[in-house]
Amino acid sequence: MTAAEASAKEAKEKEYDDIPGTFVFDADRSRRGYHLNMFCMSLMKAENRRAFKENEASYLDRFALTPEQREAILTRDYNRMLELGGNIYFTAKLGATDGHSFQHIAAIMTGSTQEDYAKMMLAGGRSIEGNRSKSGRDAAAKPAPRRTAAKSAKTRAKSSPGPTAKRAKKAGSKRG
């Protein structure tokens, strides 16, 4: 395939990079983050947690981490860890080693205090409005998945692959 085809393919595959504030743990990230995630996994054992706490830097020498990954771990930069191939279920083990809950780590990643974050959740969570799309191309409000009773299975099979396609492709400036 030509370079243009390859990049078109890449763009299509990474459609989810348009989702704001989200690092999708895909094959590329998984490959890049393998040792970072295996470091986190090692913290499932109490003796490893002890060794890590005693001397973080020297414990990290056991893993083939990139300098960026080391830095992100040592500074507890959870978003950066995700960007560099970490997965939340793994990095949460680092959080747990520090004595933090999932919610605490989630709050950190959103740049919020746990208290404010918990309040937001109690009030119904973060709204999708303004948080749907970076480019704004999927910004128009859409109905959640449903069908109209009149539509036959045959019509549906012929129409869009999913409710997404039914959404108006309106451009709009959205934060995120």
Partner 1 sequence: MARIIAGVTSSHVPAIGAAIDLKKTEEPYWKRVFSGFEKSKEWMANAKPDVVIAVYNDHASAFSVELIPTFALGCAAEFPPADEGWGPRPVPVVKGHPELASHIAQSVILDEFDLTIVNKMEVDHGLTVPLNLMFGSPPEWPCRVIPLAVNVVMYPPPTGHRCYMLGRAIRKAVNSYPEDLRVVVMGTGGMSHQISGPRAGLIKSKFDKAYLDGLTKDPKELTRISHVEFMREAGAEGIEMVMWLIMRGALDDKVKEVYRFYTVPASNTAVGHIILENLEPKTKSRRPASLRGGATRKRAAAHGIRQVAVRSKQ
Binding site for partner 1 (CB under 8 A): 15-16, 18-27, 30, 33-34, 37-38, 40-41, 43-44, 79, 82, 87-90, 93, 96-97, 101-103, 106-107, 109-111, 117, 120-122, 124-128, 131-133, 138, 142-147, 153, 156-157, 160-164, 176
Closest to partner 1 by CB, 71 or 176: 176
How big is the CA angle at 110 (ends 94 and 123), to the nearest 5 degrees?
115
Closest to partner 1 by CB, 2 or 12: 12
Which residue is it, tokens 């893993």?
Answer: 63
Minimum distance of partner 1 from residue 6's CB (angstroms): 19
Closest to partner 1 by CB, 60 or 96: 96
Tell me which residue of 118, 85, 86, 84 sits closest to 101, measured CA to CA.
118
- Rounded to an integer, what distance in angstroms lies between the CA atom of residue 75 and that of residue 72? 5
CB 18 within 8 A of CB 137: yes
